[in-house]
Amino acid sequence: MSENIFLLARSGDTNKLREFVELSPELDVDQKNHKGYSPLMIAVYNGKVEAAEFLLGKGVDPNSIDLSGNTILMGAAFKGDVGLVKLLLNRGALKEIESFTGFTAEQ
């Protein structure tokens, strides 16, 4: 398959994402790309709620940090996506984590 988990997370096509994950039992659904983004980060940064819900259901880390020191929750808060912020908080995202520059998602 030429599609990868990062492209599928960005597209928000949850059916294809689910199929890809199910057909790839050895796949690390919490892997990171060259920027330190996990598939969940990419889904959240692109406003793909269903893809984010699916990945969270697979047990990915809601507190993953990218290479710039930002959490997924920080990205959702920065974008002003209240629904994704609530989803992440309900799934264990911690609002107290500080970025490399000392800011939290609340700030």
Residues 81 and 89 sit within 8 Å (Cβ to Cβ): no
Report d(CA 27, CA 103) in Å as an integer: 33
pLDDT at site 3: 62
- Give residues with Cβ within 8 angstroms of 64, minimum separation 6: 30, 32, 38, 40, 41, 71, 72
Band of residue 4 on the pLDDT scale cut at 50, 70, 90: very high
1 pLDDT higher than 80:
no
Per-residue pLDDT of 24-43, as tens digits, reads 999 999 999 999 999 999 99
> Looking at the predicted structure, is the pLDDT value of residue 94 above 80?
yes
Return the pLDDT at 2.
39
Question: 11 phi and psi, to 5 degrees?
Answer: -70, -30
Domains of the chain: 5-91 (1.25.40.20)
Angle at 58 (CA atoms; ends 53, 63), nearest 5 degrees: 75
List the beta bridge partners of residue 65: 71
Average pLDDT score over residue span 47-57: 98
Inform me whether the pLDDT recorded for 59 exceeds 50. Answer: yes
Contact 12, 51 (CB under 8 A): yes
